Structure 1
Amino acid sequence: MEVNEAQAIFDAARDQVATIVVGKSMPITLTFTALLAGGHVLFEDIPGVGKTTLVQAMAKTLAVPFSRIQFTPDMLPSDVLGTSIFNRATNQFEFQKGPIFTSILLADEINRATPRTQAALLEAMGEGRVTTDGHTYQLAPDFFVMATENPTDYAGTYPLPEAQLDRFMLRLLLGYPDADAEKSLLLTPDRKTMIAQLTPRLDASLLAEAKKLVANVTVSDAIASYVLALVQATRHDNRVRLGISPRGGIALVTAAKAFATLNGRTYVDPSDIQTLLDPVFGHRLIAKDPTLSTATILADILQNTAVPIRG
């Protein structure tokens, strides 16, 4: 597969999702970026702006297994991972796999579950495997979590711990649609019917081929230095309590390589880094003042960091 072929395939997939989630082209593009980069996405926003709809449209566009978990306060880790059940015929315990054994997992309202249940996802998201009852089970090579969460000041929510947040490559905010997009939503048919009529545009083999292109995207020394300068600036900013870790910097570079591929390039450009800075760093950065937006801090850092002339 050539990079222009991958671009055409993903453009068709993005256009299809955009027929369902109107006026949100950048969040859709960034969701495909995480998919191609082998990361996970957290959609954080108020209810009703299309988070779950976007995930469902993505799932219909990809010809890979899909599972949905509706997280609730009474959910147990075994409801996610699976459990061992005694088989009288064989006189042995047999492991019954849970919904996490899939390619695409929608973790809906993830922060309504207790921290104990949230922690059940840590190994799966970080290592691509599940360990239970002393046995380790590998997940699908294209395992991809798209989680939604409500603002933490909403009733019945638990804040995601830093270790859990760090497992998400991107955090995306959808926000309200603009007036034209919202009007078109009022005039469109039932979106559930529209989602059901979507056709797959990507399968596991095409996705695997596209990921090979991402691995070969060039990251110049100047780009690496640019990312390092941004990372170190978060650690030295006196408004920041917890700066970006090395894993965060690696996530930014990996996401930038996937974003470049989606845009038909074989190299990372400084604009890729700038576009992805807040989605990759925003949920990893912790400000000393909780009322201060991390987006404001990152915007200041971006403005005060020298940009390479060429990628």
Structure 2
Amino acid sequence: NMGIHSLIYPEMLAAKEITTSMRMSWIRQWWEFCGGALILVGVKMRETAEILNTPLCELGGLNTPYHVVAIKRDNETIIPHGNDKILLNDIVYFTTTRKYVPYIRKIVGKEHYADVQNVIIMGGGRIAIRTAQCIPDYMKVKIIEKDLNRCNRLTDLLNDRIMIINGDGRDMNLLLEEGLKNTEAFIALTDNSETNILSCLAAKRMGVNKTVAEVENIDYISMAESLDIGTVINKKLITAGHIYQMMLDADVSNVKCLTFADAEVAEFTVKEKAKITEHQIKDLKLPVEVNIGGMIRNGEGMLVTGNTQIQPDDHVVVFCLNMMIKKIEKYFN
């Protein structure tokens, strides 16, 4: 009634991103397109991965149930080709369908990672409240907050399955008393980026597989990655993706900014007579900074090859480097 077309609540967007990243303890980032018909996962490569040091063209051919859309290596994001190899400590972004997520888990050597059942959240701010409300009921959640008045407020706002603890989350003895060693996920959401990074680093050293840090200082994001602390949440970047989506002329239903990479992932809906329907993908002359990760047709997710012909009403998931989304939207109009 006020004429506002869209409302953006950054803390809620961040909470949803955290909840999504905790679906599985072995992933860094997880996104679903068209209700999960196609999935993008980001995974850090460890020594246990089966696909290290092998050219992508030798990893299964046309029947491979996944597509490597990008590789983050040190400070560089790579759009890979057939001769590229996956190396130790790379963050690799795969597109696949839900059916083959267990297969991805196997080839990246993460089958021994326990699924998330117990969660400790450090800090009781707005993101923590929304995260606790979004976390599935089967997960046991503890929030550690040092301000007593805020603890009382959290008790009023959250249901009884969430345990509220008045204490300093930086106190390692307190964390150990609260079962840190038996916790699968540790989430640091204080208003201090340095505290969040160091706390996640300490949790990692105590054996926690899944750590999530809120890092609002953009300059610290690369440092957080170099320390290997796990998933990094920056509500500015998340919100920017939603705003950017509204500014595009093409029909875009989803835009995600990758935290560690200078890249975005967008879900385009193809219009009638769009340029991208005129040729097979290999003949479209797409920019080298662009990679089509897959598409959804009639509700079914599928991977693409150079011979794929995109049709009107298809939903196409596109990976773009260096702000290329604005330049390629002409293919979809």
State the TM-score, normalized to the length of structure 1. Answer: 0.29
Give the number of the structure whose residues are more often helix, by fraction.
1
Give the number of the structure whose residues are more often strand, by fraction.
2
